[in-house]
Amino acid sequence: MALQVGDMLQGRYRILSVLGQGGMGSVYRALDTTLNIEVAIKENLFGSSEYAEQFKQEARLLASLRHPNLPRVTDYFVIENQGQYLVMDYIEGEDLKARIERTGKISVQEAVTIGLALCDALEYLHSQQPPIIHRDIKPGNVRITSEGHVFLVDFGLAKVGGHDQRTVTGAQAVTPGFSPPEQYGTSHTGPHSDIYSLGATLYMALAGEAPPDAFERALDQAELRPLDAVNPEVPAALAQIIETAMALQASDRFASAAEMKAALLSLDLVPNQEQRLQDHQWVISPPPGIGGWRSAPAEDGGSGKKPPSQPPSAAAGATPGSQPRPSSAAQPAPSRPHKRYRRLRVWFWLSLIALVLAAWYRVSPHTLQATALQVEQWGQARLAPYVARWVPGWQTAASPPATPPTAPAGATITPLAVAAHASPTPTPSLTPSPTATTTPRPSPTATPTPTITPTPAPTPIGGSGQLAFASQNGDEAQIWLADTTGHIIRQLTERPGGACQPAWAPDGNALAFTAPCKTNQSVYLESQIYLLHLDSGKVDELTPPEWGGYDPAISPDGRYLAFTSLHSGSPRLYLLDLSTHKITPLTPEMPQTAQPAWSPDGRYLAFTSLDTSRIWLLPFDPTTGKTGEPQPFSHSGSKLDAHPTWGGDGALLVFSQLPSKQALPYLVKAPLAQKGLREFPLTVIGMAMREPAASPDGRWLAFEGWKDPNHDIFLLSIDGAQVKRLTTRDGWDFDPAWRPSLP
How many angstroms separate the CA atoms of 56 and 62, rounded? 10
Cβ partners under 8 Å of residue 327, min gap 6: none
User: What pLDDT shows up at residue 520?
Assistant: 95
Per-residue pLDDT of 703-723, as tens digits, reads 999 987 889 999 999 988 888
Does the structural domain 94-291+318-342 have CATH classification 1.10.510.10?
Answer: yes
pTM above 0.75, yes or no: no
Which is more confidently placed, 736 or 80? 736
What is the Cα–Cα distance from 621 to 610, expressed in whole angstroms?
A: 24
pLDDT in tens, 634-667: 988 878 999 999 998 899 999 999 887 667 889 9
Q: How confident is the model at residue 186 (pLDDT cuts 50, 70, 90)?
A: low
Q: What does the pLDDT read at residue 462?
A: 81
What local confidence, expressed as pLDDT, does residue 527 receive? Answer: 97
Q: Residue 433: pLDDT band by 50, 70, 90 thresholds?
A: very low
Sheet holding 539-541, edge to edge: 500-504, 510-515, 528-533, 539-541
Query: Across residues 452-465, what is the average pLDDT?
Result: 64
pLDDT of 416 reads 27
Alpha carbon distance 731, 382 (integer Å): 18
Evaluate if residue 304 carries a pLDDT over 90: no
Q: Say whether pLDDT at 259 is over 70.
A: yes
- Measured CA distances, 259 to 189, 191, 253, 254 (Å): 18, 12, 10, 6
The answer to whether 47 and 73 are in contact (CB under 8 A) is no
Where in the chain are the domains? Answer: 1-90, 94-291+318-342, 465-738
For residue 482, the surrounding DSSP H or E stretch is: strand 477-483
Give the burial string for 119-140 (b: 16+ CB within 10 Å, else e). Answer: bbbbbbbbeeeeebbbbbbbbb
Q: What is the CATH number of domain 1-90?
A: 3.30.200.20
Residue 47 has a pLDDT of: 55
Distance, CA of 500 to CA of 517 (rounded, Å): 6
Report which secondary-structure segment, H or E, holds 363: strand 362-363
**DSSP states along 140-170:** GGEEE-TT-BEEE---TT-EESSTTSPBSS-
Q: Can the peptide bond before residue 385 be classed as cis, meaning omega within 30 degrees of 0?
A: no
Cα–Cα distance, 709 to 53 (Å, whole number): 37
**pLDDT at position 79, please?**
85
Percentage above 70 pLDDT, the chain: 71
Nearest Cα residue to 652 out of 615, 689, 610, 608: 615
Residue 670, H or E segment:
strand 666-671
Q: In what order do the strands lie in the sheet with 640-647?
A: 640-647, 652-658, 666-671, 680-682
SS3 466: strand
Nearest to 244 by CA among 222, 259, 266, 229: 259
CA–CA separation, 470 and 482 (whole Å): 11
The residues near 606 (Cβ < 8 Å, ≥ 6 apart) are: 596, 597, 599, 615, 616, 617, 618, 633, 644, 645, 646, 653, 655
Element at 646 (helix H, strand E): strand 640-647
Q: What is the predicted pLDDT for the residue at 662? A: 61
Instruction: Fold for 465-738, please state it.
Output: Neuraminidase (2.120.10)
Q: What distance in Å separates the CA atoms of residue 100 and residue 98, rounded to the nearest whole number?
A: 5
